[in-house]
Chains A and B, each alone.
Chain A
Amino acid sequence: MRILVRGGRLVDPASGRDEPADIAIASGRIVRIGRAAQPLEFDAERTLDARGLLVMPGLVDLAARLREPGREHEGMLESELAAAAAGGVTSLVCPPDTDPVLDEPGLVEMLKFRARKLSRCRVFPLGALTRRLEGAVLTEMVELSKAGCIGFGQADRAVRDTMVLLRALQYASTFGYTVWLRPQDAWLGGGVAAQGAVATRLGLSAVPVVAETIALHGIVELVRATRARVHLARLSSAAGVALVRAAKAEGLPVTADVSINSLHLSDADIGYFDASARLVPPLRQSADRDALRAALADGTIDALVSDHDPVGADEKNLPFAEAEPGATGLELLLALALRWGREQGLPLVRSLARVTCDPVRVLGDALGPLGGSAGRLVEGGVADLCLFDADERWTVTPGQLLSQGKHTPFAHASAGAPLEGRVCATLVAGTVAYERGSRPAGAPRPA
């Protein structure tokens, strides 16, 4: 379909461009981008009226669990990819801890095939680094890569055997694959809340900061030895940030991300044992949160992720420690990136870079030809777009979320002011994957 996106304010973090411009789309690609405020002549089958809206590249989320295969009652591709589109997310990376885990090419092919058929969002699976994520035997990474895996990881299950981790990094780096690791020591990471005054007061078993820093020290040493490329997933502490900053300063090939939860919340948000704040990694103290926010601003942390993890009501309505960790996030990512950017005083192109071109840079060669244009707006590039109203205020209520995961600590009054900024339409490969029902993107904007 030939689509014209007309009258919007184009924001492209990769080029730093921020000005009114029309975009013409045909055959899934951006064919022309207009010049500042000059209407584009284009023979369109459909025109999307973007007046009053911002037009940006679709968001790229490096951590979203879809719960398929294996946990379909908590999320399914249909609902979770609809949630992605509603959140303006056009590409996402899903971790391998499905059931069965993504350690066989057939499973990856099926997941890719199902996602492609839905055409709501591009899905890039991470393969398991070790079979069944048991941390003992390497997976067939070359086969898995051919099936569509963009990297290899252990999700939340640390490799306890350092020899296995060394071999895994050596083997993955032979073929240029990135290894995704969440830095957490297996022995120290057993608690349910961050060590600190809140966990002490509530009597919750605690995860100390050293659980993260010990793992980071180990990973950094192994990267130094192997020169393997490692992505450090979901940093949670100020001390962890400092280690990543030092590793980057040394020139080691590491990248990192942080979740919307750790970026905005602290352990005080657990309140009276609120299980929606039962998260992995656990929410730490406000000093950690401040360090994470600064690190995302200065680029020590490369990407902001939703850490989307839909959990069913039965798994959440339990005493805090027994409740399954995780929160819904795909539909909140954009608004929370904007909130962080506003609070840090960053220009829009800088804050939105952390959810568009920067995560694409983390993915690197793994995206193949798509890597040249995903997460940015360029003529000839893929037409993955997000149209949003930067000023619309909204409050998260479970009923309005398309995800089957309805639990989020941002649903509570304690998480602060209403969210600001809401997606109006999402295009994936030049087709409309999402359009807000109440006010379609083509409809006139209410005064």
Chain B
Amino acid sequence: MPARRNPQLNAHGELIHLLSIEGLPRDVLTQILDTAGTFLSVGEREVKKVPLLRGKSVFNLFFENSTRTRTTFEIAAKRLSADVINLDIARSSTSKGESLLDTIANLSAMQADMFVVRHAESGAPYLIAQHVAPHVHVVNAGDGRHAHPTQGLLDMYTIRHYKRDFSQLTVAIVGDIVHSRVARSAIHGLSVLGVPEIRAVGPKTLVPGDLAAMGVRVCHDLAEGIRDADVVIALRLQNERMSGALLPSAGEFFMSYGLTAERLALARPDAIVMHPGPINRGVEIDSRVADGAHSVILPQVTFGIAVRMAVMSTIAGNAA
């Protein structure tokens, strides 16, 4: 059966959109991380700008609310000298009856060069990438439960920054994996970079057994899941998961799966603790851990800007 070509790569295997980490060749991924390293210093200069996207229009198209991710994309695009237009569509155009593709067609008519898209439905950026003109690039800023590739890349950057080598690592991802695009992107990134042990930790409602198909070891016991881990990634528990049939309460989740200093002691002494933010203190993570010596949560944010600069400049340089 002939496979359809991965829509984020051109015929030469170069990245033209960033839709998912899945299917990215290892050298493409590594090159983005290397490029991000060179951009990190831009933020420390007096003039925090490079001219790589000068004259280009980047549209931040957020069909789902987000302040943090949108802001970091905006900063990244501005440091590349692009013109940035923020559109918080958050369902308003769909409620006016305009379809997703009509919205894209209209914005394309305004000479957009790049769309940074967040959407509540898995796969929406693929639909957009299939319908934009060849010179227009699409960056997935989070689609449903499917992928959040720039978050995944900044997580990989952070791990590489602190651990250097991926080939000996044990990484534990704790919390609501099944609904998490962050977890999926991290799992793909870690797999591509050769991490030998990736653990998914949580109750069966949030970490079902069939996640093993993604190449992770499923653990329902937190102690087992973080024992001797080099990296612990705590995920944000969304408010809507904390009641109903997935979990009885936030308190009970914390009792069984909350990341406390005592539990973190089971991990390696030099373990790092990561979190995509915004954090729920006392739900998935205790303040002593979030603010503690192992935490690299704030450096993640700084790296995130450099990684997004690397992604945008990379895809803008490759033609369809």
Contacts and interface: CB of A to CB of B under 8 A. Distances in A.
Interface of A: 195-197, 200-205, 268, 271-273, 275, 314, 317-322, 412-414, 416
A416 B99 contact: no
Contact of B1 (A195, A321, A322, A416): A416
Contacts of B122: 202-204, 273, 319-321
Given A273-B123, A318-B99, A319-B127, A202 B146 contact: yes
Given A196-B213, A272-B4, A414-B3, 14 more contacts: A197-B210, A200-B211, A200-B213, A201-B22, A203-B122, A203-B145, A203-B184, A204-B122, A204-B146, A268-B1, A275-B127, A319-B122, A319-B143, A322-B121
B210 A200 contact: yes
B99 A317 contact: yes
Chain B, interface size: which category?
Answer: 20 to 34
Nearest to B177: A200
A195 B210 contact: yes
Contacts of B126: 272-273
20 contacts: A195-B210, A196-B210, A197-B210, A200-B213, A200-B214, A201-B213, A203-B143, A203-B181, A203-B184, A272-B123, A273-B122, A275-B127, A317-B99, A317-B127, A318-B100, A319-B100, A322-B121, A413-B2, A414-B3, A416-B1
Nearest to A273: B123
A204 B145 CA distance: 7
B124 interface: yes
A205 B144 CA distance: 10
Nearest to B213: A197
Contacts of B184: 201, 203
Contacts of B213: 196-197, 200-201
Contacts of A275: 127
Interface string B5-19: 011000000000000
B186 interface: no
A120 to B, nearest CB: 33
Nearest to B23: A272
Given A319-B119, A319-B122, A319-B123, A271 B210 contact: no
Contacts, number: 78
Given A201-B184, A318-B99, A414 B4 contact: yes
B4 A271 contact: yes
Contacts of B265: none
A266 to B, nearest CB: 10
A196 B4 CA distance: 20
Contacts of B145: 203-205
Contacts of B101: 317
Q: Which 3 A-B pairs have the closest CB atoms?
A: A273-B123, A203-B145, A203-B146
B1 A320 contact: no
A205 B121 CA distance: 10
A230 to B, nearest CB: 31
A389 B162 CA distance: 67
Nearest to B8: A272
B36 interface: no
Nearest to B187: A201
A197 B214 CA distance: 7
B270 to A, nearest CB: 32
B147 interface: yes
Contacts of B181: 203
A273 B130 CA distance: 11
A202 B4 CA distance: 16
B99 A314 contact: yes
Contacts of A318: 99-100, 127
A332 B197 CA distance: 47
B127 A202 contact: no
A426 to B, nearest CB: 32
A190 to B, nearest CB: 13
A312 B11 CA distance: 31
B42 to A, nearest CB: 33
Interface string B134-177: 00000000011111000000000000000000000000000000
B211 A203 contact: no
A321 B144 CA distance: 10
A321 B126 CA distance: 13
A321 B146 CA distance: 12
Nearest to B181: A203
A320 B210 contact: no
Contacts of B22: 201
Contacts of A272: 4, 6-7, 123, 126
A204 B143 CA distance: 11
A305 to B, nearest CB: 24
B209 to A, nearest CB: 10
Interface in B205-219: 210-211, 213-214
Nearest to B130: A272
Nearest to B147: A203
Contacts of A201: 22, 184, 213-214
Contacts of A413: 2, 4
A202 B214 contact: no
B63 to A, nearest CB: 10
B121 A414 contact: no
A440 to B, nearest CB: 35
Q: Select the residue from B4, B6, B7 with max chain A CB neighbours within 10 A.
A: B4
A320 B175 CA distance: 26
Contacts of B99: 314, 317-318
Contact of B144 (A200, A203, A268): A203
Contacts of A271: 3-4
Nearest to A199: B210
A273 B19 CA distance: 12
Given A197-B213, A272-B7, A320-B123, A414 B146 contact: no
Contacts of B214: 197, 200-201
A321 B2 contact: no
Contacts of A317: 99, 101, 127, 131
B127 A273 contact: yes
Contacts of B6: 272
B231 to A, nearest CB: 22
Interface string B104-127: 000000000000000101111011
A283 to B, nearest CB: 14
B9 to A, nearest CB: 12
A314 B127 CA distance: 13
Nearest to A206: B210
Nearest to A270: B123
A269 to B, nearest CB: 9
B120 to A, nearest CB: 9
A74 to B, nearest CB: 16
